[in-house]
A and B are shown apart, each in its own frame.
Chain A
């Protein structure tokens, strides 16, 4: 149980392109989803918290116009990197939780490797 699917797993695109990454909870309803960014050999940095039906809450330093997050249903959240540039190249990971009490762990997707040429 508690499977989170992330798609695509790897995307390569030209600078200036917008890229959409999907995060789906397959067997549970995710009231809250999180988006992280991970640079090589580094830890995960939280970008934003997304509650279903609400606007995402972005961490300090994360450009909300650059990284558009939509959480339209209890099983799907999307991250769109707009006008991507080489510095946006990174590993992006989503996680999902049923929310509520803090002892509900976050379940992670497999991640998306984004390479901007």
Chain B
């Protein structure tokens, strides 16, 4: 079974500063994909960034970057120059091939990030 653990239920950061959200996972799969989604108060799930497990290079998307450590099964998200609009619940997610043509997402419990002015 695949599990995703986010050990920080809540975090806060000052506007313009940098914050890192932690995520670890457990799997016996060799090919998989990792994602960070954000869910603002509006409740819509928004894809922030994704990483293929076979790629060693860490993914980056503007102010968002990840530190992917495959051996340690760690996938942290760094947000630089935090903005008020970054306030949201952040979910780490693991995607794996579940059979046939299907892939399943397993989510962590989330980290509530608050950006303070």
Contacts and interface: CB of A to CB of B under 8 A. Distances in A.
A43 B105 CA distance: 12
Given A34-B105, A108-B44, A44 B91 contact: yes
B107 A51 contact: no
Interface in A89-117: 91, 93, 95, 97, 99-100, 102-111, 113
B89 to A, nearest CB: 8
B105 A100 contact: no
A46 interface: yes
B78 interface: no
Interface residues of B, number: 28
B41 to A, nearest CB: 12
Interface residue tally on A, bucketed by range: 20 to 34
Contacts of A107: 47
Contacts of A42: 109-110
Contacts of B56: none
Nearest to B108: A43
Residue of B42, B105, B109 with highest tally of chain A CB at under 10 A = B105
Interface of B: 31-33, 35, 37, 42-47, 50, 52, 91, 95-98, 101-110
Interface of A: 31-32, 34, 42-44, 46, 49, 51, 57, 91, 93, 95, 97, 99-100, 102-111, 113
